[in-house]
């Protein structure tokens, strides 16, 4: 596995911050990649595949988060995550679809 790594800074745009559903969307997406995903906020770094850890960051609207991805698909992961933030976590009609694929296991 080629170990590449990269970082990306993203902004939380939705009004209620990175609450459970956005955190769920992010963790689900992160799990689709082989790379480890780490999310940092105010010096605290947590596992991007852990909804609980993401939510406990308590990141409100307007907060900027640093995403660090390490692994063979690091770039793809960062692109996808950036798109997710840009779309406001798709928290309208598609949000449930975003998350459904994690539930079959």
Partner 1 sequence: MRTLQGIAVSPGVAIGEALIVDTEGFRIPRRFVMRDAVEDELQRLNKAIDAVADQISRNRDAVTAQLGDQCGAIFSAHLQMLRDPSLLAEIEGLIRKKHYSPEFAVSKTLRRFAKVFQDLDNVYLAERAHDIVDIERSLLGKLLGESREEFSHLSSPVVILAHNLTPTETAGLDRRFVLGFVTEIGGAGGHTAIVAKGLEIPAVVGMGRFLTDLSGGELVIVDGNHGQVILQPDEETIARYRHEVEEHHTLVAQLGELRELPAVTSDGTDIKLFANIEFPREAESCLERGADGIGLYRTEFLYLGAKVEPTEEDHYEAYAEVIRQMQGRPVVIRTLDLGADKLGTLPQGEQNPFLGLRSIRLSLRNLPLFRVQLRAILRASVLGPVRIMFPLISTLADLRQAKMVLADASEDLDEAGVAYDHDVKVGMMVEVPAAVTMLDKFLKEVDFISIGTNDLIQYALAVDRGNSEVADRYQASDPAVLRLLDQSLSAARAAEIPASVCGQMSGEPRYTMLLLGLGLRTLSVPPSAVPEIKKICRSVSIPKCEEVARRAMTMENAREIDTYLREELRKVAPELGTN
Contact residues for partner 1, defined by CB under 8 A? 16-17, 19-21, 23-24, 27-28, 46-47, 49-53, 55-56, 58-60, 93-97, 99-100, 102-103, 105
List the catalytic residues: 19
Angle between helices 74-86 and 20-31 (to 10 degrees): 160
Q: Which is nearer to partner 1, 20 or 83 (CB)?
A: 20
Smallest distance from partner 1 to CB 83, Å: 19
Question: What gap in Å lies between CA 25 and CA 14, rounded to an integer?
Answer: 13
Smallest distance from partner 1 to CB 84, Å: 14
Type and span of the H or E element at 9 = strand 4-11
Phi-psi category of residue 58: left, alpha or beta, with phi > 0 → left and psi -120 to 50 → alpha: left
Smallest distance from partner 1 to CB 75, Å: 23
Q: Which is nearer to partner 1, 2 or 88 (CB)?
A: 88
Residue 15 has a CB neighbour count (10 Å cut-off) of 11
């Amino acid at each position: 596995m080629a170990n590449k790594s990269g970082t990306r800074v993203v902004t939380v745009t939705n009004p209620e911050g990175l609450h459970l559903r956005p955190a769920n969307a992010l963790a689900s997406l992160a799990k689709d990649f082989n790379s480890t995903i780490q999310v940092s906020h105010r010096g605290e770094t947590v596992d991007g595949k852990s909804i609980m850890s993401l939510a406990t960051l308590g990141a409100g609207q307007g907060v900027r988060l640093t995403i660090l991805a390490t692994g063979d698909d690091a770039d793809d992961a960062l692109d996808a995550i950036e798109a997710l933030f840009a779309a406001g976590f798709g928290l309208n009609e598609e949000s449930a679809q975003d998350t459904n694929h994690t539930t079959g296991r």
